[in-house]
């Protein structure tokens, strides 16, 4: 009669431990000196390992090992360096600063008793029919004078003067306006001298 398939573990007669594990056939009868192991598949089972390894199938251990290897392999890769975005300078072309319109009048104070307003002329001077100047001294006294006629048809000539006589010691405020042929009015100058 042939060996039986049992899948049991047998004790070695001399050693007394479970050293051989017969997976497919019945154990040889060690006590009777049976040594027919050529027809049996024998695998070594190491019993000296920790109890966890004895109870956990080797395929599960291999799976856990591979899982840890995969996880930690991702952690050991060098971190990707994010490129720092560079900002390009924005260049804008600005138009040149507007140049101040040439003043149509000038104001001078030759001494503390005189202020002179001079009409210099300039753009649209042919449509300026009158110039009005107001002077306020440091004591608050105001005086207003005109050159030309705001209702007339003749324009004010360049070089025309308005002269103020009085006491102008300290700071004096001067305001000069022009009247145009279309009826509009424009302030030419406001200053303190």
Domains of the chain in start order, with CATH, are 9-66 (no CATH), 105-192 (2.60.40.4070)
DSSP string, 124-163: TGGGEEEEEEEEE-TTS-EEEEEEE-TTSSSPPPTT-EEE
| Residue 94, pLDDT score | 53
Query: Sheet harboring 128-136: ordered strands across?
Result: 142-148, 128-136, 173-180, 185-192
155 or 87: which leads in pLDDT: 155
8 or 61: which leads in pLDDT: 61
Give the Cα separation of 143 and 134 in Å (integer): 6
Residues of the chain with pLDDT > 90: what percent? 14
The two most distant CA atoms of the chain are separated, in Å, by: 152
170 or 44: which leads in pLDDT: 170
| Residue 10, pLDDT score | 54
Residue 3 in this model has a pLDDT that exceeds 90: no
Contact 107, 171 (CB under 8 A): no
Residue 41 in this model has a pLDDT that exceeds 50: no
Contact 24, 40 (CB under 8 A): yes
The alpha-carbon radius of gyration of the chain (Å, integer) is 58
The stretch 43-64 carries a mean pLDDT of 62
| Residue 15, pLDDT score | 52
| Residue 42, pLDDT score | 41
103 or 147: which leads in pLDDT: 147
Kindly report the average pLDDT of the chain as a whole number: 72
| Residue 4, pLDDT score | 45
123 or 146: which leads in pLDDT: 146
How would residue 11 be classed by pLDDT, with cut points 50, 70 and 90?
low
């Amino acid at each position: 009669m042939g060996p039986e398939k049992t899948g049991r573990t047998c004790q070695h007669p001399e050693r007394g431990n479970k050293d051989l594990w017969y997976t497919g056939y019945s154990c040889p009868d060690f006590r009777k000196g049976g040594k027919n192991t050529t027809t049996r598949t024998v695998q070594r089972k190491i019993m000296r390992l920790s109890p966890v390894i004895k109870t956990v199938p080797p395929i599960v251990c291999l799976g856990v090992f591979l899982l840890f290897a995969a996880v930690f392999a991702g952690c050991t890769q060098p971190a990707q360096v994010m490129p720092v975005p560079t900002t390009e300078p924005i260049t804008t072309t600005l138009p040149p600063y507007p140049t101040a319109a040439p003043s149509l009048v000038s104001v001078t104070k030759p001494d503390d008793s005189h202020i002179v307003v001079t009409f210099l002329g300039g753009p649209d001077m042919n449509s300026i029919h009158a110039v009005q100047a107001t002077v306020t001294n440091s004591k608050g006294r105001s005086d207003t004078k005109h050159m030309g006629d705001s209702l007339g048809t003749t324009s004010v000539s360049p070089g025309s003067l308005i002269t103020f006589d009085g006491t102008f010691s300290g700071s004096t405020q001067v305001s000069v306006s022009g009247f145009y042929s279309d009826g509009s009015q424009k302030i030419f100058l406001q200053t303190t001298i």
